[in-house]
Amino acid sequence: MHDGTKNLDIRDIFNVPAISGNDNGIRVRIFIYLIFEAIKKVYESVVNAIFNGPFLSLEMEVASTIFIMPEIDRIVIYKTKFWQFGAINENEEIVAGIYGVYNSIFLD
């Protein structure tokens, strides 16, 4: 959600790591993780046999990174101020009722 207290510039959009290509490979690692999870759901026994085998001693560091979704910096949560209006008992079908709603919102 856009933070209204900060100005948004077009450069902010084009400098986003996913668009500019400067994401340090996070996008590729996320794709690898998602594809691995899809294959694992279909061929779970085969995947477990491959990754639990004794012959992966040197490649285990690389293989273990497939199991983990990459972490990225998270945006700080910004709570939007919200004012709840009470019931407005005006007939909005007539012009006087619409003016009554406006008076209730802006003047009362």
| pLDDT tens-digit series, residues 46-60 | 887 777 766 655 556
Counting other chains too, the contacts that 56-61 makes at CB distance below 8 Å and 24 or more residues apart are: none
Question: Which pLDDT does position 8 carry in this prediction?
Answer: 74
For 82, list phi and psi in degrees, rounded to 5: -140, 130
Assess contact for 40 and 52: CB atoms under 8 A.
no
Residue 96 has pLDDT above 80, yes or no: yes
| Residue 9 Cα distances to 12, 19, 23, 76, angstroms | 5, 15, 20, 19
| pLDDT tens-digit series, residues 27-43 | 778 888 888 888 888 98
pTM of the model: 0.45
Assess contact for 3 and 78: CB atoms under 8 A.
yes
